[in-house]
Structure 1
Amino acid sequence: MPARARRPLALAAAVATAAALGATALATAGATTAAAAETPLTGYELTWGIKQSFRTYVTGIAAGTFTPAEGATQAASNGAFTFVDGTGTYDTEGHTLDLGFKGSLNIVSKAHGFDITLSDVKFDSATTEITADVTKTSTTPGATPVTTKSEDAPLATVTVTRDMKDMATKLTAEAADVFGSASYENAAGDPLTLVQKTTPTPTPTPTPTPTKTTTPTPTPTPTKTTTPSPTRTTSASPSETSATKGEIVDGTLGWGVKESFRSYVVGSVAKGKIAASGGATQGTGNGVFTFVDGTGTYDTDADTLSAAFAGAVNFKGHETNGEYGLDLTLSDLKTELDGGAGELTADVDSLGEKSADVVLAKLKAASGQLTVQDGVIELDDVTATLTDSGAKAFGGFYTAGTELDPVDLAVAVDEDAQLPDDDGESTTGGSGTSGGSGTSGTTGGTGTTGSTTGSTTGSTTGGTSGSLASTGSDVPVGALGAASAVVVAAGAGVVVATRRRRTVS
């Protein structure tokens, strides 16, 4: 998805009024206007897990540890981290929060040679950033350890919501460098929650001592400071202004199945071609597909979404005398999500045999929360896992539970909303080649069998080692007869829409 420009976040007008009254009660005689515009805030806690897959990597293959200190804690079962005693200010003119938190987190893996400490964690709603001071020591066998330090390193941007709970985060380039994976840049991080554990009571302005026997001037009753709940300023572009539930008016859906399958279809074995139609498009260079005209319903209170998309994609391969051993069309793509979990279905037409609403993959989003921003709900890099019915469609070539390419989803819930632009060029035409018979690499095979020797390194088990998922291009056709090759292609070809070209391993 294209990166969006950051915009300041503000607090609701009612909250601003209450906070301003609290600031007035706190002000002393002779205080400046600037000082009165800032209300002190205390007692906040920030909970963020960085990224679940990173935590799993550290304590798993890296055999490392997380050690919170100075008041910070980690939830059970390698859960999220909480930083405490947050203090800062609420700007009653700019309507923004700026908070700093106590606690540090040390992340160590001797096996993989890194020692990272995060401290002085801060959250600023004006910049929508979470930052931290970072000290990192990297150790390479036989070399002198290298230590780097940075202050207020921006680790993620935050989509701030009114209740400040389970806010979506996106990791930065700096976070990718700190945590040692280039793939983290612009990737979804764990949701972030900000809560106020204690609400401070303002100290009242001292009442002058009466000099006469008169009725004393009443002491002003302190106005309780209301915990701010961020929203956007009226000058910002519309965001979160749509109804909490209703009809989807437009949308796009993306999924690449596995890049290796597309390479197989147009490669030296199947010698086929791929064509998108009905509004669907394919990215250049045998890229992934974009299905369009999303319709359906959504409910951000219940975090549910049901959407269907227009367009079709056809895969042809193993041609002999004008007939194809592989002829597969996917259409009527649908997604169902409830709390971030759901499924992906499609109608499948393989060599004239049609199956409607085949559940191909289970879906799991990084966050269960659906957020409307500028009239659009976006979900990037949703994990897609092959189902039992999907595995049957693959003819057992992939096993159930195999992780497929991630799904991208963007739906507009407002007629005036602008969907994100595609990252790359696309085309409705076919890709790859269609010429040649299927006898390449054979000694008498037919076009429907493909090559019996062209690729023999793969595995027929569908596992992650040596299978189509990891070979990158060719498929072990030697294990497939004419019928099974078609079945495998029928399942593996469930390639759905995407808004950008990916490189998938």
Structure 2
Amino acid sequence: MSHTTARRRRTPVLAALAAAAVLAATGTAVLTAATPAEAAPNLPITNGEATWGVKESFRTYVVGPIGKGRITVADGARSYDNGLFGFTGGKGTYDLGAHNITASFDGKVTFQAHKAGDAWSLDMSISQVRVTTDNATKTGKVIADVSSKDMSTGQTVLYDDVELAALNLTGIAPEQDNLGYTWLKNIPATLTEAGAPAFGGFYNAGSALDPVTLKVKATAPDPDPTSSSPAPSSPAPSSTAPSSSAPADPDAPAKILDGTIDWGVKKSFRDYIAGPIAKGKVELSGGATDNGDGFRFGKATGTYDPAKKLLTAAYQGTVHFLGHETDGHHELDLTFTDLNIKVTAGKGVLYTGKTPLATFTAEVAVKDGVIALNALPAKLTAEGAVFFGGFYQEGAELDPITTALALDPDANLPGPGATTTGTGTGGGAGGPSVSLPLTGSPLVGIAAAGAALIAAGGAALFLAARRRRATAAS
């Protein structure tokens, strides 16, 4: 049912856990105390998060070369490096008798594409999400408020409390972490009949959506029903209560206070941009600088968690490649911005925005308050190969990556005139080394093909293709 009036907060969002999941979180003492069905209480869910990407192909379309749009988060939602969204602040109840959960989560995610003037033809937001589960049938629902603009009429329709996705809990086993959260990971989700119109008809009912991952923390009941305050010696609360007030994300990781990254993308591509065919140029903004042998991006932020062997860092700056100018328009128009890296247990990924572009390996260590990763060999990902129009194969060698990150305010970082460490990043006539991820317009049309082909030594083929296109146009 759709509504055009203002909406109010409904029942909780995105949360439904199988009975065993919460029992694992609350402990066997709770299960024993609540064995009689008539005595089974509803346990309050005091914290949690639902992680969901909605649909990967939809996200790619929105920010890709056709939609040329953006995805934003607000009201408590988080955006993760892998493209997923976190709906936070989980609250709700767990029915200990029926083993069913209903939990609400904060956050709003907005998808906008096809901009015309100041308006977006595609303008869709998902908020007030909740998940419910039925342990008996191993099914669940993702329910949300969806605001969606009709691309033909331009009218915005509110789908209030719409059953957006159906969940299949078959075979989903609960896991418990050391903070007292119970997880249900990668729950398969499909678009419902009611949810399809909220997507503006982009997808049919039954289409696969991204899986949902749920983590919740349920608080055990007071074993003495006549007591007005929790019994401090109660065995079940003693294991869960101390962590029930702990944040979902601990403060243990060290914060990155500053840092830089240097990266050349691929030298053959830089050579082509600055060469006699593309006759291109490079524009720097947002803090990106020429380091003498490439580009440097700085003002890094992020965290390092040595216990989890997890490093995340994001950098500021934009590098804009332009080539093949015709009447003030550049057929080759490529932007690198929002560069970020993630290293988990020695395996690293360089992202352009939310798209994984390159992989590398790195042993992360701190010395004198600095994490220094020098001249790390990098290889193109499958997503990166698609970004380059398929003219670079997955696994192709890219220029090495160098980054320095400060965890101490007194740490010494490389100065603005320093050059990158390692080989294969030479500039000269080949142009700069890029230290950023790729977001923005990818290589387009035959110019895109030409850039990649000439970078790989296919100049003659590219020029022949241009002549064939010119002949066909005439």
TM-score by length of 2: 0.38
Structure number with greater Rg is 1
More helix by share: 2
Structure whose residues are more often strand by fraction = 2
